[in-house]
Structure 1
Amino acid sequence: MKRMYKFIVICSVLVCSSSCNYLEVVPDNIATIDHAFSDRYTAESFLGNCYWYMPSSANPNASPAYMGSGEFMHQRAMLQTSMLIARGAQTAANHQINMWGGGNGGKKLWDGINNCNVFLANIHKVMDLTDAERKRWIAEVEFLKAYYHFFLLRYYGPIHTVDSYMDVSEDTDVVRQERQTVDECFEYIVGILDRLAEEKSLPTTISNPREELGRITLPVVMAVRAKVLVTWASPLFNGNTDYANFKDSEGRPFFNQQVRPELWNRAADACREAIDICHNAGHALYMANDVVNNFVLSDDSKIQMAYRSAVSLRFNHEVIWTNTQSLVNGTYQDYMIPHLRQVSQGVTSGWYSPTINVAEMFYTENGVPISEDTNFDYEGRFERMSNSSSWKTYNIADGGETAKLNYYRENRFYASLGFDRGKWYNFVGHNDWEKSDQNAPTIQARYNEYSSMYNPNNYSSTGYFAKKLVSVNSGFTEQHRFAAEAYGYPEMRLSDLYLLYAEALNESKSGPDAEVYQWIDLVRDRAGLRTVEESWRLYSKNPNKPSTKVGMREIIQHERNIELALESENYWDARRWKTAIRDYNRSLKGWNVLRQEAIEYYEVQTLFNQKFSHKDYFAPVPEYEIINNPKLVQNPGW
């Protein structure tokens, strides 16, 4: 008999039919602490309460990173909270996605941390637990406490660490805490994760993922520890002189003012340890030969479906950590997929729209940026072109007229983005769509066509669609029915870890070498690309770029932006690299989607002029928190 965790969202996947129903469960309030730990059942409920505070990464109204980077746009009538952040609407008085005090879509992570401390202080009272179970639960909650601290640290900058339960009756001076230096915060978080790595109280794998998907494992701990250390070593937190005058009450700068190269060494070691643990646990990149079906697919389509499966296929071996607090269900997928035939109008909306900026970011088919490729018509990229030579008709419809920007691109481009006259293949289809990639439906997104606007709130405002985030097993199974297979958000994939390792190695060495290239080339190989050195030597206007530390840094950063596109990572990466001041002062662009003729449709429109200043590297501490706690110092600029 399946044991469901009634209060625990970590076990939110109950598979009782072929369609796999997902549960969204919120823990009940528990009257007293004594009752909460009176037996295994109530303690398990409290464990679920600790998991409940996990930020919902796939919810644009609850995750600052989802649309906060400007990867997505949508029409003004449907503004999501994270889009308000990208549009510069964040203020201390009206905090969007408030993770400090809760509100405007944000969970109060300090409550989550406090509940974790309550659990840790009382779990010893439960008598009907085995020692192994108790140790596992303690390790899970210790990890959650560390992760909630890490989230707050990335979002707000210096915080105060809370290692023990604070009762509501505590003296005001005890409750009112001063912010600590970022080094002290990172040391605290890493200290917890180091201890969990040494104790090994967590399983390396989930034995029954259909019931326990999302629970913390040893690979999760190791991978997150690696990401924490890479973040600490990055320019935002390591020797950031922009914050030289941001000091505590004793005059200490919150940010260390000298770059500490040894942090990159620690990060590289942690990445390697995490990779070894993940490999031993069975995690591997999801490759084209993992795509098993009886359908007729080109080699390119297999690569594309492997890349998409790594994100959206349930239980796939590339995902290290699935966030089941954040389900990409039918509602969200409806917002990403366009109408794929006339009769499907009104079924889906497709209004979560990647920008032209995202489309420009992907490599050419030669594995280098479009601005560097000696064979790509960069200056003419917005011109129209017909597929009269039947070039890869599984990507672009035979004879279809679309922008040159959409031709001759790498497989991750076609796996991630849908566009006018592009093809959209899924394993589930209608009228034999799924039998062959050549049968895949064509997006027709010009005004009055079936993939375009059918009411003022339901259309792509850019002309692009987020194919990557629609499950490979979702599709139109009947003329008027879109059936979506929900999946837990991939909080961390193995390719993410590989690229973190490549980055840490590059930064810890005097210059790139074979070891640095190895880990980025593994990710590129899955995408069907040549190695970095070969691609730049054969096709780039700057063939020596991979041979320098600075050049390789840019390549690794670009690779991360592509590999993890639309997965909320760019929001955090651009900040820790301190490139956001460059990257986020730009025009966000789309096609002229309310025009019917191709000559008018393919006119580039500026949808919004994104602005970013130094203060935006961190969210403001909510104004009322500053008023309630005079010891708190507001972030600079707010």
Structure 2
Amino acid sequence: MKLKTSIKLMYSIITCFAISCNSMDPIPTDNFTDATFWQSSANAELVVNMAYNQMYSADKMWNDEALSDNIFEGRSNTNQRSIRNGLVDPSLGLFSSEWGDIYAGIKTCHVFLANIDRVPNIDRQLKNRRIAEIRFIRAYLYFRLINFYGDVPFFSSDILLSETNSIKRTNKTVVLQFIHDELSAISSILPSKNQLSKLENGRITKGAVLAFQARANLYEGNWQKTANYCDSLINNQAIYGNYSLFPNYEGLFQRENENNQEVILDYSYVPSLKTWNKLYGAAPLSAGANLNAYAPLQSLVDNYLTINGKTIAEDAHYSADDPYKDRDPRLAATVVFHGAKWTAFNGNIQTIYIKPGTGNNAQERLDNYSGPSANSSSTGYYVKKYYDRSASVTFESSLNIFMFRYADILLMYAEAMQELGKFNASIWDDTIRKIRERAGFTSSDALSYPSGATKEQLSNIIRNERRSELALEGLRYYDIIRWKAGKTYLDGPVYGAKFSNGNRDYIRLDNRRFDENRDYLWSVPQSQLDLNKNLLPNNPGHSN
């Protein structure tokens, strides 16, 4: 589904709904009123498309990555960087903008649900399906909200402006139960992936509902239900759709392979009409990118195994002088390191020179590391994943963004079974081995079940596999938070490549601070606390 919504028109419509346009107003000739808008099924589709637009985006995915230990934003003191450095208070802009964006999306959903019955002559089956899609989107928005803020104002139908200034926060567990109940209720109404026409690609399906249920239970630590939902999606494809791993990892993130068998749900973009350009500030400068603002960290690079299936600390063949040789192929598909190959928009293949003093000419030396505040990467790395070779020269891309994909289902199943004490060689072969084979591993040491590993070691193997497979897809921060591992991954100095002090030392960047008593939840925005004292007390560690 390509959402070609007129954003300007839709914001006008939603604004009108939000302030309850007076039904006595004359009908304008260049716009709609509440009295006329719902007389058209095409207009109802516009609201559905608006809700899809508000559910997620590439910007949200990349900004979520910046909250993690995968990415460093070196160009400016962004809100994400402030959070990671422990410099937060309730007035931080991101706390307010995220809250406002989510509730705006929830508003759109409630407007649709309150008015869809007014549309004359709408096909009943289509109407029920669109209602189910809207309920999924609303559940997704509430899920994002509680993962940031914990207890939140909750309502399942539109409320008056006066009520917004007095409503209290609802316990997170109540909202989670609502999410699970909604997903259970809509699953039978939605089609499977196999039932979608080509024009419907990107629509919410039964498979997306199961994937969402699995993720919600994963974040709650409900391992049995996580395993059950994943197992259903894996083994009942006649009901939910045929899903499998796309055979080429790097190709998974190229536009010519969109809507392949691994996609469970993605966020759609449209050439020329709806695009994103985050890589303009993250790709190599010699490839035409702008000043670097967004770069992978050394800890992400170090997470990738050697081709022998060992960590860099375990593999005797690993050399710090040639650190990118014989590594997990997903590293080269995700991160641009010194000596990596880059395919330009015109199809030419170039070598990227990042190590100081390398490169044969001024153009090649554009990517050389020259300091944390230089135009080039502040970490000594650039981003490759989600590079759209068909994008414009300013990296305006129409590449869809994954929300749920099949590899994540396999990884969630592996983690849940491990936590339940049921993980074994058979499950390894059906999950981790398949993922590694698709990545390009061939060594038996990399592919065979580590029978001698302790439970803790096996848990770490699965966690690290998750990081390598899903890096730069917006999930790492939430994994760290649900593991209650903030001190492990989000505290202390962060490093870039070994390009400092004459290539003798790793680049040292920010000294991040994670407060165990505060940073697992965000503050309720100060603007909301000023309007509604019933939102108090604030989350632990944040001022009221």
The normalised TM-score by structure 1 is 0.72
Listed as ranges, the gaps of 5+ residues in structure 2 are: 22-33
Amino acid at match of 1:600: G
- Give 1:325-340 correspondences, 5 Å limit: 329=275, 331-340=277-286
Aligned-residue CA RMSD in angstroms?
3.3
1:79-108, Cα deviation, whole Å (9 max, x unpaired)? 443333323333212242535642xxxx1x
1:261-281, Cα deviation, whole Å (9 max, x unpaired)? xx3211211111233466852
Q: Provide the C-alpha distance between the structure 2 equivalents of 1:6 and 1:482, rounded to a whole number of angstroms.
A: 22
Q: Provide the C-alpha distance between the structure 2 equivalents of 1:549 and 1:75, rounded to a whole number of angstroms.
A: 38
Amino acid at match of 1:185: V
Aligned pair count reads: 512
Q: Provide the C-alpha distance between the structure 1 equivalents of 2:416 and 2:374, rounded to a whole number of angstroms.
A: 44
Question: CA distance change for structure 1 residues 347 and 514 in 2, over 3 Å: closer, same or farther?
Answer: closer
User: 1:592 offset after TM fit, Å?
Assistant: 6.7
Question: CA distance change for structure 1 residues 453 and 528 in 2, over 3 Å: closer, same or farther?
Answer: closer
Question: CA distance change for structure 1 residues 178 and 606 in 2, over 3 Å: closer, same or farther?
Answer: same
User: 1:315 offset after TM fit, Å?
Assistant: 2.7
Amino acid at match of 1:216: I
- Give 1:295-444 correspondences, 5 Å limit: 305-306=250-251, 308-309=253-254, 313-324=257-268, 329=275, 331-340=277-286, 348-377=290-319, 381=320, 384=321, 404-425=322-343, 429-430=346-347, 433=348, 440-444=349-353
Q: Provide the C-alpha distance between the structure 2 equivalents of 1:347 and 1:468, rounded to a whole number of angstroms.
A: 15
Question: CA distance change for structure 1 residues 576 and 454 in 2, over 3 Å: closer, same or farther?
Answer: closer
Q: Provide the C-alpha distance between the structure 1 equivalents of 2:98 and 2:368, rounded to a whole number of angstroms.
A: 40
User: 1:351 offset after TM fit, Å?
Assistant: 4.0
Name the residue aligned to 1:298.
Answer: none
Q: Do structure 1's residue 221 and structure 2's residue 209 form an aligned pair?
A: yes
1:279-329, Cα deviation, whole Å (9 max, x unpaired)? 8523321114xxxxxxxxxxxxxxx633544x9943333222111379995
Question: CA distance change for structure 1 residues 137 and 329 in 2, over 3 Å: closer, same or farther?
Answer: closer
Partner of 2:350, secondary structure, is coil
Q: Provide the C-alpha distance between the structure 2 equivalents of 1:276 and 1:36, rounded to a whole number of angstroms.
A: 44
Q: 2:528 aligns with which of 622, 625, 629?
A: 625
User: 1:126 offset after TM fit, Å?
Assistant: 0.9
Question: CA distance change for structure 1 residues 559 and 278 in 2, over 3 Å: closer, same or farther?
Answer: farther
Q: Provide the C-alpha distance between the structure 2 equivalents of 1:487 and 1:182, rounded to a whole number of angstroms.
A: 34
1:225-254, Cα deviation, whole Å (9 max, x unpaired)? 111111112xxxxxxxxxxxxxxxxxxxxx
Partner of 2:279, secondary structure, is helix
Question: CA distance change for structure 1 residues 511 and 207 in 2, over 3 Å: closer, same or farther?
Answer: closer
Q: 2:147 aligns with which of 142, 148, 154?
A: 154
1:557-586, Cα deviation, whole Å (9 max, x unpaired)? 111111111112111101001112211113
1:482-539, Cα deviation, whole Å (9 max, x unpaired)? 77652121112211111011111212235545225521221111112258x943979x
Name the residue aligned to 1:451.
Answer: 367
Name the residue aligned to 2:43.
Answer: 42
1:169-214, Cα deviation, whole Å (9 max, x unpaired)? x5x4x863333333222111101001112x23345357455x5443
Question: CA distance change for structure 1 residues 111 and 338 in 2, over 3 Å: closer, same or farther?
Answer: closer
Q: 1:544 aligns with which of 443, 448, 452?
A: 452
Amino acid at match of 1:470: Y
Question: CA distance change for structure 1 residues 569 and 110 in 2, over 3 Å: closer, same or farther?
Answer: same
Q: Provide the C-alpha distance between the structure 2 equivalents of 1:333 and 1:419, rounded to a whole number of angstroms.
A: 15
Q: Provide the C-alpha distance between the structure 1 equivalents of 2:211 and 2:230, rounded to a whole number of angstroms.
A: 7
Quick check: 2:51–2:105 contact (8 Å CA) kept in 1? yes
Quick check: 2:132–2:190 contact (8 Å CA) kept in 1? yes
Name the residue aligned to 1:272.
Answer: 231
Quick check: 2:2–2:269 contact (8 Å CA) kept in 1? no
Decide which structure has greater helix share. 2
Partner of 1:372, secondary structure, is coil
Q: Provide the C-alpha distance between the structure 2 equivalents of 1:313 and 1:83, rounded to a whole number of angstroms.
A: 34
Amino acid at match of 2:307: E
Name the residue aligned to 2:24.
Answer: none
Q: Provide the C-alpha distance between the structure 2 equivalents of 1:282 and 1:91, rounded to a whole number of angstroms.
A: 47
Q: Provide the C-alpha distance between the structure 1 equivalents of 2:72 and 2:77, rounded to a whole number of angstroms.
A: 9
The normalised TM-score by structure 2 is 0.84
Quick check: 1:336–1:350 contact (8 Å CA) kept in 2? yes
Partner of 1:223, secondary structure, is helix
Q: Provide the C-alpha distance between the structure 1 equivalents of 2:408 and 2:66, rounded to a whole number of angstroms.
A: 19
Q: Do structure 1's residue 634 and structure 2's residue 538 form an aligned pair?
A: yes
Of structures 1 and 2, the one with the larger relative CO (CA 8 A, separation 6+) is: 2
Quick check: 1:335–1:348 contact (8 Å CA) kept in 2? yes
Quick check: 2:71–2:297 contact (8 Å CA) kept in 1? yes
1:418-439, Cα deviation, whole Å (9 max, x unpaired)? 122222246x544xx3xxxxxx
Amino acid at match of 1:85: I
User: 1:25 offset after TM fit, Å?
Assistant: 8.4
User: 1:442 offset after TM fit, Å?
Assistant: 0.8
